[in-house]
Amino acid sequence: MPEATTTLCGLRRELTKDLFEELAALQCTTEEILGYIGTTEKKLESWCRKTYRHPLAEMIPMIRKDGLIAIRRASFDQLKKSATIISQQYNRFLPGVGVDPREDAENAIRLLTTAVTPSTETMKELYGEAEEGGEEA
């Protein structure tokens, strides 16, 4: 039995299965894919049903998950290489930051060291009261 063609000819480009998966993995919306190919949603929906045997609304989220995994993997690789990127990623989630990158990095380092440094009570429990005055037991 001859294989069904897996291309969709649009006004601008020809959509192949590989191109569709690449665009969806790049987190493109349906409208962006339609604009890039130059076709209608109805044609893309029928092409998707022929190619994948699933509707477009099911296929795009499934393929996007693979793209999110790839993006997360690339982000972790970058984080391993640079402490600056770690501070930038951390500061994204803090309210009202982003004014001065150097100050943001210093704040991130300060917060990290504060989180790692034990409290005064913990230090007293571990080392006792005698060491505070410089005396040895």
| Global pTM exceeds 0.85 | no
pLDDT for 44 equals: 92
Band of residue 1 on the pLDDT scale cut at 50, 70, 90 = very low
- CA–CA gap between residue 131 and residue 127 (Å, rounded): 7
- CA–CA gap between residue 84 and residue 68 (Å, rounded): 22
- CA–CA gap between residue 78 and residue 69 (Å, rounded): 14
For residue 93, the Cα-to-chain-centroid distance in whole angstroms is 14
The chain-wide mean pLDDT, for the chain, equals 76
For residue 79, the Cα-to-chain-centroid distance in whole angstroms is 12
pLDDT > 90 fraction of the chain, expressed in percent and rounded: 22
Task: Judge whether residue 137 has pLDDT over 50.
Answer: no
Question: What is the per-residue pLDDT across 10-35, written as a single tens digit (0 to 9) for each?
Answer: 667 888 999 999 999 888 899 999 99
